[in-house]
Copies of this chain bind each other. A is one copy, B any other.
Amino acid sequence: MRNLLLELRYDGSDFHGWQIQKDDITVQQIMTEAFLKVTGEKVNITGCSRTDTGVHANMYCCNLHSESEIPASNFPNALNFYLPPTISVYGCKEVDDSFHARFDAKEKEYIYLIYNGKYRNPFYEKRALLYSYKLDEKYLNEIVQIFKGKHDFSAFCNAGSDVEDKTRTIYDISLERENELVKVKIRGDGFLYNMVRIIVGTLLDISNGKIDPSSLIDIIESKDRNKAGVTAPAHGLYLNKVIY
């Protein structure tokens, strides 16, 4: 029995997230079906995280145990043959039997894309948040440095999470602009439910004057979800990297 680690990319627009659900189409379901078609095996695929409906992945990792003797390097093309164009497997390797895509993830990096143009752009439809107001990414890049380090991020976690310890460490967070596209990049040892989207929503609320940036420390320390900003929409969010 081999333990296979798969790396994939997906456009989440058409999926109800990663995790298999009863009535909705999810990435995990489509991956499971493609694996069945390639190997004849019905496997349980373990994902590195549950992504929400509409969230994308530039890199998503999952693992599964298989009796198949197909060489690992053949899996990307074999799976892509059966997968829709919205999902692409680009890596497969054999890992230790004990490897677990979720528990063994040491770091994750997310990107949140904001299209800061006056009018919508067809090429970022469902792939970036359209935000047509002034957005000073240099100013916000200074503000966000406060998130760095180890904090209890309870104020940045939506209901729906059963995690008890809400302490997480942010290693890096930054904003950069390329023309109309503003990219928020955040890397940490783990993220709470909707944490990146609430951080981005809070930045937008700072940008539009609803939240005073000097209150950001108090908001973190309050551990009160109601003090932080809105949850930014799912379609701007990309899981960008998983480090084991």
Give chain B residues whose Cβ lies under 8 Å from the Cβ of A85.
Answer: 120, 122, 125
Best-buried of A11, A87, A122 by chain B (most CB within 10 Å): A122
A89 interfacial by beta-carbon distance below 8 Å: yes
A10 interfacial by beta-carbon distance below 8 Å: yes
A89–B118 Cα gap in the complex (Å)?
10
A13: nearest chain-B partner, CB-CB: B122
Number of copies: 2
Classify the secondary structure of A's interface with B. Answer: mixed
**Contact of A122 with B11 in the complex, beta carbons under 8 Å:** yes
A85-124 contacts to B, CB under 8 A, are 85-90, 117-123
Q: Smallest Cβ distance from A14 to chain B, in angstroms?
A: 10
A190 interfacial by beta-carbon distance below 8 Å: no
In the complex, per-residue mask of A59-88: 1 if CB is within 8 Å of any chain B CB, else 0: 000000000000000001100100001111
A187 interfacial by beta-carbon distance below 8 Å: no
A127 interfacial by beta-carbon distance below 8 Å: yes
- Specify which of B10, B56, B89 is in contact with A119 (CB 8 Å cutoff): B89
A121–B58 Cα gap in the complex (Å)?
9
**Contact of A88 with B121 in the complex, beta carbons under 8 Å:** yes
Q: Smallest Cβ distance from A15 to chain B, in angstroms?
A: 11
A9 interfacial by beta-carbon distance below 8 Å: yes
In the complex, per-residue mask of A116-150: 1 if CB is within 8 Å of any chain B CB, else 0: 01111111010100000000000000000000000
**Contact of B86 with A122 in the complex, beta carbons under 8 Å:** yes
Give chain B residues whose Cβ lies under 8 Å from the Cβ of A56.
Answer: 123
A88–B56 Cα gap in the complex (Å)?
23
A7: nearest chain-B partner, CB-CB: B119
- Specify which of B9, B120, B121 is in contact with A123 (CB 8 Å cutoff): B9
Give chain B residues whose Cβ lies under 8 Å from the Cβ of A127.
Answer: 123
- Specify which of B76, B86, B120, B123 is in contact with A80 (CB 8 Å cutoff): B120
**Contact of B122 with A88 in the complex, beta carbons under 8 Å:** yes
- Specify which of B87, B89, B120 is in contact with A88 (CB 8 Å cutoff): B120
**Contact of B122 with A77 in the complex, beta carbons under 8 Å:** no
A79: nearest chain-B partner, CB-CB: B119
